[in-house]
Chains A and B, each alone.
Chain A
Amino acid sequence: MLATILAIATLAIIFGLILGFAAIRFKVEGDPIVDKIDAVLPQTQCGQCTYPGCRPYAEAIANGEAQINQCPPGGEAVIHELADLLGVDPLPLNEEHGEHTEKTVVYIDEQICIGCTLCIQACPVDAIAGAAKLMHTVIEDECTGCDLCIPVCPVDCIYVKPVTETINTWKWPLPEVNQPTLKDLLDLKHIKQEQQS
C-alpha cells in the first residue's frame, strides 16, 4: 500500500517538474492580443459597442470586460474571427447594441449647412472637409458610416445613404437553395405568429 502511494507520488512529482520546465522553457511570447483584436474590428469608430472607439473595445475584450458580440458593423464575420482568435465559442450578435445593416455613408445637404464645424469635430476619422463658416463636405471614400455626425448637426442636414454598388464592387449572390435551414423555419414561425396576433 505504502509502496503504491510512494510510486504514484513520485510519478506525480516527476511529471509536475517536466510540465513546469516545459512551461518555462517553451513559453511562447505572443503579440499583444489587443493589437490582434483591433486588427479584426471594422474601425467604424461608431461607439455602438458602448466603448469610445474600436481600440478601447479591443482593450476591453482583452481584459475580459466585454463580450465579443457587441459590434454591429462587424456582424457575424467579425464575431467568428474573434471567436477563432481567442479560442472561444462564437455568440450571436447582441441586438442591444444594434443591428448589422448594409454599409452606409453620409452626405451633407449643402443647401442647409451653416458651417458650424460641429460635425467635423465629431467625425472620428476626419472624413468631413470644411472650416468655420465655410461649406462642409463628406469625403465619401473615408466615411465609415458611424453616424456620429448626425446627432450633433444643429440643422439636421446630414443624411444616410447606402454605398452604391458599382460593376467593380458587385458580388455574386449566394445561390437560392430550397431547403430551409433551422433559422429559416424559426423565422417562418415568428412571421406566422405575428400574422396571427
Chain B
Amino acid sequence: MTMRLWKIFGGLKLAGHKTMSMEDATEATPLPKILTLPLKQHIGHAAEAIVNVGDKVLKGQMIAAAKDYVSTPIHASSSGTVIAIEERPVPHPSGKTTDCIVIETDGEDKWIERVENANYRQLDASALRNIIRDSGIVGLGGAGFPSFIKLNPGPGNMVDTLILNGAECEPYITCDAMLMQEHGRKIIDGLNIMRHALQVERCIIAVEDNKRAAHTMLVNALQEHEAEYIDVVQIPTLYPAGGEKQLIKTLTGKEVPSNGLPINIGIVCHNVATAAAVADAVLEGKPLISRYVTVTGEGIEHPRNLDVLIGTPLNEIIELCGKRSEANQYIIGGPMMGFEIADTNIPVIKTCNCILIQNKKTEAEFVMPCIRCGQCAAVCPAQLLPQQLYWYARAKNFDKTQDYNLFDCIECGCCTYVCPSHIPLVQYYRFAKTEIWAQEQEKKSSDIARQRHEFRQFRMERKKAENEERKRQKKELLKKVSGKKDSADDAKKAAIKEAMERVKAKREAQSAIAKNTDNLTEKQKKEIAEIEARRKKAKEEN
C-alpha cells in the first residue's frame, strides 16, 4: 500500500554492493572449539559473571547477570566448560581488551530447559519486558541498546507508532535483508509481541526499495487481520535513510527533537533482527545467542551471510568464506560507519552485523586544507554545519562545537565522503565527543577531589580544635589542683614559723632572765672562786 513519505535533507546515493552477498541462502556456521563472550556487548553497565572457572554450562544458560537498569545478561551460546574469565581482545576501534567469559564447547550443543510462552498475550507488559531482558536482547542494528528499555514507554509517555527498521542503508551489509527474506513471519511475530508490550496500535515496517524480495516476503507473511495495523513500506534507497531519526522523518514527517529521543514524539523504533530475536525469546524461550553476520568485501572469495553463534572467533568465519591474499583491510560494520581492526582473533559479539574485507591500496592520503565549498553541509542528514564543527574541533574549542550541536551528529560519514579535500571530518567529531566526555569525567573527579580536600581541611581543623579544647581543659584542672596545694604549704610554713618564733622568744626570755653569774662584784667573784676551789678539792679526794 502506498503511504505518504517525506523527504529528508542531505544524504547520498551510494553504490550498494549488496547483490554479491545475497546469492546464497544463509548457512549456520559449525560449532567452534572456543567461545569468547565479553561481559559488555551492549550500551550500559557490563554484566557480572555468575559462573566460575570450571563450571559446566548448557546452551542458553545465563552466565552473566545484568547489573543496574541499563544492562543486559549474557548467555552461553553452546554447552561446554568455562575455562577462563579474563581480559581478552574484543571488537573495538581501540583494539583493547575487556573481561570475557571463555567457554570450551563439548560438541553436544545441549540446551537448557526452555520456557515457551505461546500465549504471551496473557502476560502483562512488564512480565514480557522481563522475559526480553532476561534473554539478553539488545538492538541488533549495531548500537546494542538493551531492547527491553525501549519497550517501556515510561510514565506519562504515549506511544502511537512502532517502527521496524529494515532499511539497512549502508553499502555491503545484507544481514537484515536475508533475515527478512528467510524469516519474515518470525519478524512479524516479534512485532506483535513488541506491540503488546508497548500497547501501541499502529506499526510500520520500513524496507528500502532495493530489497524487493524482502519486501515481497514480508507482505506475503502478513496475515489478513495484521494488514490492518501493519504497513510494510518501501522507502527510497538513500544513505542514511536507515538512521533512526531520518527513518522517522521519512515515515511520519516528524523530527525527533535535537538531543531528544523518539519516545518524546510517541514513536519507538527497533531493528527487524531485534524483533526476530524477541520472537525467539518469548515464543521459544531462546535467549540471544546467535545472529546473522554478512561476510563480504573484495577480499573475500565467497561473500555471503552466516548464522553465527555469539562468541565465535572472527577468523574462523572468514576462513569459511575464503580470504583472498591481497586482503589487508578488516572492517567490522559497514564502510561508512564501521571500524577497522588489526587482529581478527576476536569474537563475534551481539553488535557485529558485518565483517567487510577489502584490498586497500596503501597510499598516504594527502589532506588538503578546507576550501569551504559547503558540500558537507549540503549532504548532512542532521542539517549541521560540518565545516564549523571541523574548525572548532580542530582548534579544540569544545564549547563552540556544542553550540553547533556536535552531539546531534550521527557520525554517518556523508560529509567525509563528499569532501573534495579528503579531510577526515568524522574523526574530528569523534575526537571532540570523546574529549568532551573525558573532560566531564575529569570535572566529576576533580569535584570529588575538592570535596575530599575540603573535608580533610575540616577534619584537620576539627582535630586541632579538639586538641586545643583538651589542652585548655587540662590546664583548668591543673590550676585548680595546684591552688589547694599552696594553702596547705602555707599553713605548714606558718606553723613552723610560729614554733620557731616561740623557741626564739623562749630563748630570749631565758637570756633575758639575769643569770646570777653575770654582773658579779669583785667580792662575789672571790667567794665563787673559793667555793670552786673547795669543790675541786673535795672531788679529788673522792
Contacts and interface: CB of A to CB of B under 8 A. Distances in A.
Of A38, A76, A165, A167, the most chain B CB neighbours within 10 A belong to: A167
A6 to B, nearest CB: 50
B452 A126 contact: yes
A45 B453 contact: yes
A142 B449 contact: yes
A124 B456 contact: yes
A170 B94 contact: yes
A80 B338 CA distance: 35
B499 interface: no
Given A54-B450, A126-B455, A171 B435 contact: yes
State the majority secondary structure of interface residues on A.
loop
A175 interface: yes
A167 B364 CA distance: 28
A45 B454 CA distance: 11
A169 B427 contact: no
Given A44-B449, A172-B427, A174-B431, A167 B456 contact: no
Nearest to B455: A126
A144 interface: yes
A32 interface: no
Given A167-B92, A177-B367, A38 B450 contact: yes
B453 to A, nearest CB: 5
B431 A144 contact: no
A142 B448 contact: yes
A53 to B, nearest CB: 7
Nearest to A45: B453
A173 B431 contact: yes
Contacts of A54: 450, 453
B116 interface: no
Interface in A161-190: 165-167, 169-175, 177-179
A167 B369 contact: no
Interface residues of B, number: 37
A127 B452 CA distance: 9
B367 A167 contact: no
Contacts of B366: 178
Interface string B409-433: 0000000000000011001101101
A53 B453 contact: yes
B467 interface: no
Contact of A172 (B97, B364, B431, B447): B431
B449 A175 contact: no
A122 to B, nearest CB: 11
A125 B431 contact: no
A41 to B, nearest CB: 8
A43 interface: yes
Nearest to A179: B369
B29 interface: no
A77 B452 contact: no
B439 interface: yes
B423 to A, nearest CB: 8
Given A53-B453, A76-B396, A125-B453, 19 more contacts: A41-B446, A42-B442, A44-B449, A77-B396, A77-B439, A124-B456, A125-B456, A127-B452, A144-B449, A165-B96, A166-B98, A167-B98, A169-B438, A170-B94, A170-B434, A171-B431, A178-B366, A178-B367, A179-B369
Q: Nearest 7 A-B pairs (CB), nearest first?
A: A171-B434, A43-B446, A43-B449, A125-B452, A172-B430, A170-B94, A175-B424
